[in-house]
Amino acid sequence: MDKELIEHTIPLMLLSFLGVWMVSEYFFAPLAPLIPITDTIRVYTTIIASAAWGLGIAILTLSHVKKIYTKSQDPHWGYSALYLVSCLAMSIAGIMGGTQGFKYLWAYYNIFAQGWVLPLYAHSMVRPVPVE
């Protein structure tokens, strides 16, 4: 089969179908014969979404670990280290105390919600202007 078809077209068609199905299920009550199919599709969409989150976290973590190991090539490797430490801290706080625990909520409201994390990536979006 064609590589473009396998890598792009089929996943796009599958996710588009599942997205339209889920939106239509939210706004319109499914017909009685379609309820078992709707329940099965909901389960598979949850599985696909969980796998996508896991894959995204793994790829993001690996790219930051790679930046840390190649310190000489990337002058901003410290931001990657800070990212990994903060993700690890938030994960531990969420696992130990739950998402309603004091430590997790404190870190969320005082660090992430106030925009402390987004400026960490500003160096990759803005190029320095040369001084003449």
Which single residue is written with the structure tokens 């379609």? 34
Looking at residue 118, its pLDDT comes to: 52
Neighbours of 64 (CB within 10 A): 18
Structure tokens at 122: 């500003």
Alpha carbons 98 and 108: distance in angstroms, whole number: 12
Give pLDDT, residue 121.
52
CB 77 within 8 A of CB 70: yes
Residue 83 in contact with residue 125, Cβ under 8 Å?
A: no
Residues near 77 by beta carbon (within 8 Å), at least 6 away in sequence: 67, 68, 70, 71
Report CA-CA distances (Å) from 129 to 41, 76, 119, 132.
51, 17, 18, 9
With b for 16 or more beta-carbon neighbours within 10 A and e for fewer, the 100-127 pattern comes to eeeebbebeeeeeeeeeeeeeeeeeeee
Q: What is the pLDDT of residue 127?
A: 52
pLDDT of res. 51: 92
Which positions of the chain have pLDDT values less than 70? 1, 112-132
Looking at residue 114, what is its pLDDT?
60
Domain boundaries, the chain: 1-69, 74-123
